[in-house]
Every structure is written in C-alpha cells, then in structure tokens.
Structure 1
Amino acid sequence: LFVFISSFLYFLSQLAPTVVYGDSAEFVIGAYKLTIVHSSGYPLYLLLGKLFTFIPIGDIGYRVNLMSAFFGALTSSFVFLIILDLVQSFFVSLISTFTLTFSFTFSFLSTIAEVYTLNSLFLAILIYILMQWKKKEEKKFLFLFSFFLGLSLTNHLTILLFFPSFLIYFLLEKSRISLKISDFEKTIAFFILGLLPYLYIPIVSFTSTETIFWQKIKSLRELLLFVSGSPFKVLLLNQSLLEFLNSILKFLVFLLFQFPGLATIFGVIGFLECRKNKKEESILFSVIFFFLFLFVINYKIGDIYHFYLPCYLIFSIWVGFGIMWLWKRTPEEKKFRILFALTILLMFIFYPLTYKIVDISVRSYKSFYFLDTSRMGLISTEKDSVIICDWSYATLFRYWQMIYKIRRDVIVVFDFDEKWIEYVDRLLGKRKIYFSRYEKGVGTKYYLIPESFLYKVEKSPPEFKEKMAKPEFLLNQVFFDSIVLIGYDILKEPEERGILSINLYWKALKKPEKICIVEIQMLDSKGKTFYSKEFRPIYGFYSTEKWREGEIMKEKINLYFPFKSSSSFRLKFKLSIEK
C-alpha cells in the first residue's frame, strides 16, 4: 500500500494537466467517445479509460491521464511484491522498486494517456501469478494466469513476445503439479474469456456513428488484420545495417539513462546473482528481456523507446538482486550499515541528472502549446476547408471536433501521402486548403501564406508592398547593412493563451545577397524567452535575396501567447543567414 500511494502521488505531481498530442490524444477521444483507434484497437484500454472519464476532476484529457498514473502505481506495487518474494527484504525491495518508479520513461508514460503502463502492469501481474503458482502449487493460479494472459492481449500485442518465456517456465515447473485434460480445457476457456474485450471492435464498428480517422471494419478478414497490427508489420525488419546498429546503441543508452550510476552496476550484478540463486526465475526474466530486446532493435517506429518499458521492469528486479548481494556482504557494524545506506542514497542522486537530459515535466506552458494552437488553427480556417497535417496535430484537431464540437465542417487529413500537389490541384477552388507545415512541393506551384500556425494555399500572393511605413512601435533595427526592420504594430491584444497578431515593416537599404531567416522572441518581465518563432520574411515566398533597394514591405504575423493577456512581455527580433 505504501508503494502504491507514494508512486501514485509522485505521478500525480507530474500528471499532464490536459490532453497531449499524438496517440495520447487519440486514446482520449477513443475512450470518451468509445470509437475505433489505430490498429490493434486497444479495446481494454478504451473501456477502462471510459470509466475514468466519469471522474469529476479536470478535463477529459486529465482524467484519462490519471488512469496511466493509477496503472503505473499498481505496476510499482506488483514489482515490489515480486522482488520481496525473491529476496525476502522489505528495504531492498522498496529501493529497487523505486529505481523503476523514478526512471524517466516509466515516469513520463505514467503522466500521459498511453497504453504502456497498463501493459507493464499485466507483465508484472503475470510474473507474480506464475511465482505464486510455483510456490503454492494450486491450479487456480494457472487458470488466473491464463485469464490475465488473454486479457493482456486486448491491451497490447507485445505480450505475445513473452509467450516463450512463460512456456519455458511452465515446462520447468510442471512436474510440481499434476494436470488433467480437463485442467487444460479450463485453462483454454479462461484464456478465451480474457479475449472477450475484442468484441468491442466489431460492436463499435457497427454501432458507432463517428470515427476518428479509421474506416469501420466490415468483414472478419478486416477484423483479423486490424487486431493483429497488420498496418505496422512493414516497420518490422525494415532497417539498414547502420540503422540496426544504431537501434542497439539507442537501447543501451536509454537503459543507462533509466538506471544511472550505481543502479546499472547493481542491475548487472543482480543478473548474475539471479542466475545463481533463482535459476527458473532467471530463465523467465532473461527470455522476457531478450525477446523484447530482439523485437525493439528490429522495429522501426518513432516512439520505440516506449516499447523498452518491460525491459526496464525486468532490470529493476535484477537491481533488487544486486542490492541484496551488497546487503549480505555488508558487515553488521553500524558504520558499515551507514555506508550501505549512503551508497543507496548516492544511487538516487543520479536520477535528477537524467531529468535534465530528458525533460519529463509536462506542466509548463508547453503542455498547452499544441492544444491551444490546434484550437486556434481550427477556428481560424474558412468554412468547409481542409487541413492537411502531421499525426500530432491531426489527433488534436479531431479532439476539438469530436469532444467539444468545434468546427466540425473542417476536414482533417494526416499526411502519410507525400503527393499533395496532385491533391491540391484537384481540390483547390472547391475548398480552402491549409497545411500544418511548409510543404516545399506545393510551395513550388502555389503560395503558402502563414495564418495562425497553419499555411493557407493560395494561387496568388497577398499585397505586401507599401509606399510608406508608420508603425506603432518604431525600431529601425539594421541587419547586415542591407535590411532594416522599421517597426511593428500590435493588431490584437492576446486573450488568455491566445494569438498575438502583429504587422512587421521591412525596408531594403540595398539589395540583400542571401536568404535570411527572422526569429521573433517573446520575453517576460525578467528577460527570459518563453516563446520564439522562426520564418522567412514576407510569408516565405518573397525571400530577402529578391528584395530591391528602397522597397518597403509589410507582413502580418500571428504569435502564440501562452499566458494571460495582462502578463507583461516584450518582443525581440533577430535575423540570420539561412543555412
């Protein structure tokens, strides 16, 4: 109970205050609306997530994030019980469990809506049940294991990688208990019972009136391909030799970051101690670790480091064996006990250092950046327009549309296809088209005009040349002896976490020789930069090397303002040569 409460409070202190972009936003929508998410469907996660959406705290995103913290704390609790059962020391079990709890990937995934802490929980539960079956030699644990094994597959398919380890452990221990044919039949029945959440997918596919992106499943073949993760199979064994070696290096580096300093040393010692003292469990843990390692170094996906989590769970158990090895070799005298305590304390001193390398804090204004800009971008588009964007923004646009009913007339497309020029040719004139990033292919034929944080596709450029400049705020800031920023106007004071619209006035003192990039920084009252934006002047299409001596130009820029409108700030402008 102490492990659960302390872990949960730790995760709660860092919990993302709202929805996060990407898969996390998709899971929030899927849980709240009970609809289909990407393959393999994750039905159990969505059903459990729906229960958490009823908690009257925060917004929908926060409530589903809370579920990850809950399952993360439960995982820590079961890991503690596993280590306690193996080393028979409360103190050692507590310390080694916290090496997992405070590791930055586990902490991060316990603060956002993701399936990985639930996946880790299932692995911990399955290991614990197997160990109880070995110790108590009761068939009920075998049936319970079979049920949770089936249930775990309805959350994440990586559990399949652990089947060999479970089977080996069972074969090593089966002589301890006699099983009848009827027992095997019950085992299969409990496994199938655990798979029942998969019924969610065809039921929702036939009854749901709205989907996020994915088409409804219309046949048994489509269902099998969907739940088996077929769309992602192309990412497996699809790397060059250099990428393969880099994947190995990445895994090892991330492992060292999770267990810095003495924790890594304890883990290696613990691996050897486990082999010597707990041979069956050592085989179980080693095969789990090896098969997952083999998978992740051959799987080419952006968030692959999330898949490392079960390896970290196993390594934390080995850390427990390593600490126990040191504990047994520490003399009884008080001074040596103190030395041991200081050694353990020193191990945890390294953990804050990892947070500087990988920032797991999601409570700053950055938490709201993608969410707010997606809302502002959606609102700023014209009626019945199309937004073509990456996955991170696509899920947030759909979040606003499906949960808050904002601008449901806009069509959102996430860009897995790079042939957008053909799409634009066909659609432009019928609908307004926006991109979430500057698409060079489209930009060679059309004008991409920045609006909010989006780029609007136009056949002709906006008017930007001026005869005279009378800015509200005069600067006369000269760059490279050829370009002067005369000043700027503030067109609209920002609302709380809204848009700050400004006009910039440029003048070419003489013809610039190179393409320049402008950076606008927002500084708070203490002079600290809290937001910056880089772009080519004059909407990107009239680059500085085209400017003529004496020309005066005006452009409108929208900046994201993450604080209350009453907050004091100032703007700082920089110009650099494009590399």
Structure 2
Amino acid sequence: MLYGLSCAPGALWQDSGLIQYRVWHSDIQGFLGLAISHPLYYIIAIGAKHIPLGEFGHRVNLVSAVAGALAVANLCLLMRLWLGKDFPAIIAAVTLAVSHTFWWHASVAETYTLWTALFLGELITLLQYTRTQRTGYLYLLGLLNGLAIAVHMLAVIPLVCYGVFIAISLIRGRIRAKDIAIIAALWVLGAIPYEYLIVRNMALTGDIVGTLASAAFGDRWQADVLNTSLSWRIITEDVLFVLLNFPTPNALLFFAGLYGLYRAEPGVAFRRVVLALLVLFFLFAFRYTVSDRYAFFIPFYCMVAMAIGWGVHELGSRLHRKVVLCAIAVLSLLPVAVYALAPQLAQEMDLQIGTRQDIPYRNDYEYFLRPWKTGYAGAERFAREALDTVERDAIICADTTTVAPLLYVQEVKGIRPDVQIVTGIAHSAAAPC
C-alpha cells in the first residue's frame, strides 16, 4: 500500500526515464553494456507494459513498487523465522521500508527492489537449510541467485559467500558432489536471460574477452568497480548517505544487533554468512565511485535492518517494558517525518546536495530528499512544453537527464512526431544516430 501510493504516476528523468524508454521499445539488452542490461527486470516490466490498465509509465513504475513490497515482506519473514518473534521482525521490515534510498527506488522505475526481493529470498532458503539440512533449500538458493544475477550483477557478492558455504559443506560431508551439480544447473537455469545476452553478443561480435568485460563492468565502469582509493569527499558523502537512511535513534540498535549476532550460539554458519555479507556490501559501496553510488548501499541497508531487528530482540530479552517497545515502534517511523521536513530545511540552509538544480519543474530538494513521488508530473510537463515551443521539424539536442521524458511524450503520448530528439544514447526513430 505504501509504495503503491508513493509510486510516480508517469514519465521520469534520468535513469528511470531511460528504463521506461527501454521498456517501451521492448529492449532487453540496452545500450550501456551487458552489466547494465538487467534482462529479467525488463522481461517483467515489458509484461507489465502490455497490461491494458492505466498509464504506461505508472505500470512500469509499479514493478518497482510491487517488488519493494515483496522485499519488505521477505525481510519480515526472514527475521520471524530466524528469531521466532514478531516484533523484531516487524521493526526490521519497517526500518528497511522507510529507509530513504530503498523507498525512493520503490517509487520509480528501477531494478534494485526486484534484486532485493530475490536476495532476501535467498537468505530465507539458506536459513532454512541451516536449520533443516534439507538440500532442497540449497537447490532453491541456486535458482534464486541465478534469477538475481539476471536482474543485477550485485548478486555476485552473495554468490561468493554461498560458494564458500557450499564448499565447506561438501568438505564436511553434509552435501554430495551430485548436490552441487544440481545447484549449479538450477543457477544456470535462473540466469538464462543474462546468459542468453552474453552468448548472443559473443556470437555477433566474435569478441569473447570484450563481451565478458561488458558483462562484468558495462561499457565504462571497470575503473569504478575495481576502485581501491578513497577521498575525504567520498567518505563524507558515504557517511551522509547512511545517516540519511536511518535518521532515528533506533539506528543505535544496529550495534546491539551486531553484538547479538556475534555472541549467539544457534545458527553459527548462517550468522557468519550474514556478517560476511554486511562487510562485503559495505566495502563495495563505500569505495564505489559512480555518481549514483548511493543506490549501491541498498544491500548494506538490508543487512543494517536485519541487525537492528536483532538489536530489538536483544533489548526485548533484557527489558520487558512495553513503554520501551512502544518507543521503538514510534521511532521506527521517525524517518518519514524527517523526509517530509528535510527539503525545506535544506533549502533554507542552502545545502548543496550534489544535483544540477536547473531542471524545470523539479525542485531537487524535494525530488531527491523525499522518497515518495506521489502525483509527480514535472518531467512530463517539461517535455510537453519543450516540444510545444519548437518549430516544425526541429531538432532537439537533449542530455541524459531530459531525453527520456521528451521521448516519452513524443512516442508514448504521440506528441510532435515531426521533432527529432537526439542524444548519444537514445533518439527519436527518425533522428540521425
């Protein structure tokens, strides 16, 4: 319900707008390299495109909203199974649900919420395996991680942890080589959409090494992915990203949760995987240097929400006072009030938030600091007015921020087909490449 209400109703700027453009053209591969193709997400979004209900852009945006809701539900189920208590599970789920970056990406067309839903599903199956020793859960883990790879290459990080876990299980005689073969086969099955693109590009180009590099890094992000250097600017921004997502005293429960995770006896193997993922996700995002690296903290925020849930469990086992639990419940919703007030406060303080601030009908403080996009129509309004002002057969040289809504209004709404809209990555059908 929350994400359905906060979901943007139509055209969007930048990456989200380009996602809508690709879905409109049923483009599963994209134009920025295989690592940015996210084929399974687009297969699902293209399916949503063909549902004859409502606005096209809204349907595409709702894919993220539905996936976000599924991710939150999976986290709640995971924590309930793990801790055996409802309240810590609910607090963990609410913490993730109202964290800024996750909520923001559940309100627009993006791939991260679908990946998160699959990732948390993976952790559920791994937890169940460690409790029951039924290899069927490992088979399902392989399938889910393969599907996650077909959504986003972030799935490689947990894949490494699962690989170590499975190797140790094999050495200790808990599983057989036959089981690993089945897990691998199901992983390959789940990743088929991505594997198809890789094999297809190898066949078309004959460049095996180049195709594999594109699959790992995209066209231009190898240096960012492999970066090992930091600057004070990056460190400061990263700290602010984390603070923006957990502006509540409940964040202190993260440390209590870490203590509980470290000392708890049952489920040692699963706890080690969780702690390893927390560290790896943090390190990956913290030294990443792409402009939208704030989105790559989402996996880490999932782990933080889990640790906060564990912290609630630790506190609840020591303090049996309802007033404390009520305070935790209220404080879990404090971020909503913070995000409501943040744009006005930031604007009054003239804070620089690293955005352009020159896009018509987009107050960057509101657009970026408030995660909800309810009723937002600025991108479409800009595009309609821009197309309305140019002469017949004009050529518009757009940038990557504005090209998507311009093409949306032209192609989806059928307005001004005579105008040629061009950029280096997308253009009108009749425009010169």
TM-score, normalised relative to structure 2: 0.82
Give 2:395's aligned residue: 386
Following superposition, the deviation at residue 379 of structure 1 comes to 4.2
Q: Distance in 1 between matches of 2:384 and 2:408?
A: 9
Mapped pair 1:13 → 2:5 = yes
Following superposition, the deviation at residue 114 of structure 1 comes to 0.2
Amino acid at match of 1:368: A
Following superposition, the deviation at residue 202 of structure 1 comes to 7.5
Show CA shifts across 1:318-342 (max 9, x none): 11110011111124xxxx3234323
2:323 to 317, 322, 338: 338
Mapped pair 1:31 → 2:31 = no
Give 1:359's aligned residue: 370
Q: Distance in 1 between matches of 2:5 and 2:78?
A: 26
Give 1:412's aligned residue: 421
Give 1:193's aligned residue: 189
Following superposition, the deviation at residue 314 of structure 1 comes to 0.7
* Greater share of residues in helix: 2
CA contact (8 A) 1:260 1:347 kept: no
CA contact (8 A) 2:217 2:225 kept: no
Give 1:428's aligned residue: none
Aligned counterparts, 1:496-515, within 5 A? none
Mapped pair 1:328 → 2:317 = yes
Show CA shifts across 1:550-571 (max 9, x none): xxxxxxxxxxxxxxxxxxxxxx
Amino acid at match of 1:198: Y
Give 1:52's aligned residue: 48
Structure 1 residues 56 and 145: alpha-carbon distance in aligned structure 2, compared to 1, 3 A threshold? same
Q: Distance in 1 between matches of 2:60 and 2:227?
A: 34
Give 1:471's aligned residue: none
Give 2:253's aligned residue: 266
1:312 to 301, 319, 341: 301
* SS in structure 2 at match of 1:192: helix
Structure 1 residues 261 and 400: alpha-carbon distance in aligned structure 2, compared to 1, 3 A threshold? closer
Q: Distance in 2 between matches of 1:146 and 1:296?
A: 24
Structure 1 residues 131 and 241: alpha-carbon distance in aligned structure 2, compared to 1, 3 A threshold? closer
Structure 1 residues 343 and 288: alpha-carbon distance in aligned structure 2, compared to 1, 3 A threshold? closer
Amino-acid identity (%): 22
More displaced, 23-32 or 176-185?
176-185
Mapped pair 1:293 → 2:285 = no
Show CA shifts across 1:290-346 (max 9, x none): 222222222222211111111111111111110011111124xxxx32343234323
Aligned counterparts, 1:14-413, within 5 A? 14-35=6-27, 36-37=29-30, 38-39=32-33, 40=35, 41-171=37-167, 173-174=169-170, 178-198=174-194, 201=197, 218-219=205-206, 221=208, 223-231=211-219, 232-236=221-225, 241-242=230-231, 245-277=232-264, 278-331=267-320, 336-357=321-342, 358-364=369-375, 367-413=376-422
* SS in structure 2 at match of 1:387: strand
* SS in structure 2 at match of 1:228: helix
Larger Rg: 1
Following superposition, the deviation at residue 220 of structure 1 comes to 5.2
Following superposition, the deviation at residue 237 of structure 1 comes to 5.0
Structure 1 residues 24 and 345: alpha-carbon distance in aligned structure 2, compared to 1, 3 A threshold? same
Amino acid at match of 1:72: G
Q: Distance in 2 between matches of 1:370 and 1:90?
A: 41
Q: Distance in 2 between matches of 1:303 and 1:18?
A: 22
* SS in structure 2 at match of 1:268: helix
CA contact (8 A) 2:74 2:121 kept: yes
Q: Distance in 2 between matches of 1:238 and 1:387?
A: 36
Structure 1 residues 378 and 16: alpha-carbon distance in aligned structure 2, compared to 1, 3 A threshold? same
Structure 1 residues 87 and 240: alpha-carbon distance in aligned structure 2, compared to 1, 3 A threshold? closer
Following superposition, the deviation at residue 351 of structure 1 comes to 3.8
TM-score, normalised relative to structure 1: 0.62
Following superposition, the deviation at residue 140 of structure 1 comes to 1.6
* SS in structure 2 at match of 1:294: helix
* Greater share of residues in strand: 1
Q: Distance in 2 between matches of 1:71 and 1:61?
A: 16
Show CA shifts across 1:86-140 (max 9, x none): 2110122112211111112211111111001011112101111111111121222
* SS in structure 2 at match of 1:306: helix
Q: Distance in 1 between matches of 2:73 and 2:301?
A: 15
